[in-house]
Every structure is written in C-alpha cells, then in structure tokens.
Structure 1
C-alpha cells in the first residue's frame, strides 16, 4: 500500500510539473485600456491628433480720400510810353482748380467647421495645425485650407477651438466650377485692367 501511495504521488508530481512546463504563462490583464483614463480630457496634444475648428471670420475695411487744390495766376502790363508806345494794354488771368474724392469699402464673412491635424508640438507646448477640406456639389468645388498655431489651453473639453484663437492663422477659401468661372472677369477686361 505504501508503494501504491508513493507511485500515486510520483505520478501526480510528474503531471503537475508537465502541466506547468507545457502551458504558457498567464498574466493578469485589465479590462480597461491604460491609454485613456475616464478622467482625462480627449483634447489634441500630440502630433497626429485631430482638432475641430469653428471658423467664424468677419472683416470690414473702409478707406476714404479727398483732395482739393486751387491755383490762380495773373499778369498785367500797362500801355507803353516813349519808344514802347506800340505796346497795347495786355492783361492775362489763369485759374486752375481740382477736386477729387474716393472711397473704398470691402467686407467679408466666412463661417465653416472643419477638422485639422496637429502637425507638430512646439517647444513651448503650442500646437502647429494644418487641414484641408474639399466639398464638391454639382461640379462646384469649394476648398478650405487652414493652418496656424494654437495654445492647448484654448482648446475646449469637446476638442474644439474657435478660429479667432489661432495665432498666425491662414485661411484660404477657393471655389471652382461654372459659378466661379462666371465670377471671373473676361479676357478683354483683364487685359484692360493690366494695361491701366
């Protein structure tokens, strides 16, 4: 009976050792990702992150100029005497005046929403951003390109920033298509504008 117990103990020990050696080691893992804590804000902060920009740009420029000039010249010569008796009475007047005025008013308004990407994190922590959005409807293509530098503290909790808070902001808005082509001056008009 003793040998039977010893044999059972040896077999159990061999099975246990082989089980440990054959199976892969198991590691405990969490159900939650370490990358994003539930308490962390989902704000852009690294190169490659995306950020939503609300574009609300409005500009108005007015210029006025007025010019008034006046000039008057006069010359009078009386009748000559003695040897100069043949000179008749000469009188001459000249007046010149000029007046000019002009004014220019230009205004623009652009409203849009687009998503841009963080290109680079600057040494001071600011983010360099750039993005392009192209929309084509009925063969009319509109393209918005935006770039600039933003401060991380200006980005909202929803990962949104207003375009007025972009430093060195550059916004290009272009349209191509039938309507855009009609807005372009004709060849003769462009030639005359180039000459004059």
Structure 2
C-alpha cells in the first residue's frame, strides 16, 4: 500500500512539472476602463474643440451743434464821431453722424493637445490644423485654458468654454490672395 501511494505521489509530482497548469482567469482582467472616463486629463492627451464663434459689433455716433453770435455797436460821439455804427451777426451749425458694423462667424472642429496642467488643475491646450483644397490653404491655430469638468464624456469641449482663447483662422491661395489689397492700393490708401 505504501508503494502504491508513493507511485501516485510520484506521478502527481511529474504531472505538476510536465503538464502546464491552468490558471483561473476573471472576466475583469484588472482593466478599470469600464469605470474610467476616457476624457483628456493629462499632458500629452488630445482633445477635440468644437468652434462655434459668432461676433458682431456695431457703433453709432452723431453730433449736432449750432452757434449764433450777434453784436450791435453804436456810432462814436465827441472826438470819435467819425466812427459809424455797425452790427454783425454770425451763425454756424454742423451735423455729423456715422456708424460701423462688423461681424464674423467661424464654425470648425480642431483636435488639440494638452500642453500643461496648471496648479489649479486647469489644462493649457494648443493645436493647429491645416487643410488644403484646390491650392487654397486654410490654417486654424488655437490656444487657451480648459477646466477638466468642461470636457464632455465624448472628449470634446465647446470653444466658448475656453479661457484666454486665441483662435487664428487664415486662408492663403489664389482666392485668398485676391481678397488682399495690392501694394499700390495700400500705398494710395496710406497717402490719402
């Protein structure tokens, strides 16, 4: 009996080293992505900014001024009787009015990168985007500061939630160049 038990123990020992052991695995492999939000929150993470900017400014001014002056001087007496009497009157008026109106609109999406996490937890972001269509190049540059709580679960943020936002939008190409004044037009405008 002892011999049979020793054989069984010996076989179990051999099977332990020869046959690979099966490990129990879990459906949850330690990845906490199920409970974690995939929002940008540290340096190097990327974030999509949805730009919807509308700006309108108008100014109006008007002036209305008038002035009337009148004087009557009688003739001289005594030694000054050679001075004749005279009178004069003067009036002037001016009216002026003017107005200016300026408006602009920009809608775009740009993906930016977190450059720095500030002491208060806010995130400094910056990014550029260049698109060329038919030899027309459109460049968008964006910098600013975002609060982490303003970032949506889809990892996007609206441009109106960006503090110190600087959004530059430029176009270059045949059509864009036609929109700029030429050197001669600029010189004439400068002179006059």
TM-score of the two chains, using structure 1 as the length reference = 0.79
Whether 1:102 aligns to 2:98 is yes
Q: Is the alpha carbon distance of 1:33 and 1:85 closer, same or farther for their aligned partners in structure 2, counting shifts above 3 Å? A: farther
Whether 1:113 aligns to 2:135 is no
**Distance apart, 1:28 and its partner CA:** 9.5
Structure 1 counterpart of 2:45, from 42, 49, 52: 49
Whether 1:143 aligns to 2:127 is no
**Distance apart, 1:82 and its partner CA:** 3.5
For 1:173 and 1:33, the matched residues in 2 are separated by 46
- Calculate the aligned-residue CA RMSD, in Å: 2.7
- 1:162 is aligned to 158
Q: Structure 2: give runs of 5+ residues left out of the alignment.
A: none
TM-score of the two chains, using structure 2 as the length reference = 0.80
Q: Structure 1: give runs of 5+ residues left out of the alignment.
A: 21-26
Q: Please give the per-residue CA displacement for 1:152-184, whole angstroms capped at 9, x wherever unaligned.
A: 111111101111101111100111111111111
- 1:23 is aligned to none
Whether 1:80 aligns to 2:76 is yes
SS in structure 2 opposite 1:157?
Answer: coil
Q: Is the alpha carbon distance of 1:134 and 1:94 closer, same or farther for their aligned partners in structure 2, counting shifts above 3 Å? A: same
Q: Please give the per-residue CA displacement for 1:26-71, whole angstroms capped at 9, x wherever unaligned.
A: x999897756522211110111100011000111111111112212
| Count of aligned positions | 178
Q: Please give the per-residue CA displacement for 1:98-128, whole angstroms capped at 9, x wherever unaligned.
A: 1111111111110001110111111211111
- 1:190 is aligned to 186
SS in structure 2 opposite 1:37?
Answer: helix
For 1:183 and 1:127, the matched residues in 2 are separated by 37
Q: Once structures 1 and 2 are overlaid, which stretch shifts more, 174-183 or 36-45?
A: 36-45
For 2:30 and 2:42, the matched residues in 1 are separated by 17
Whether 1:152 aligns to 2:148 is yes
Extract structure 1 runs of 4+ deviating beyond 4 A: 27-36
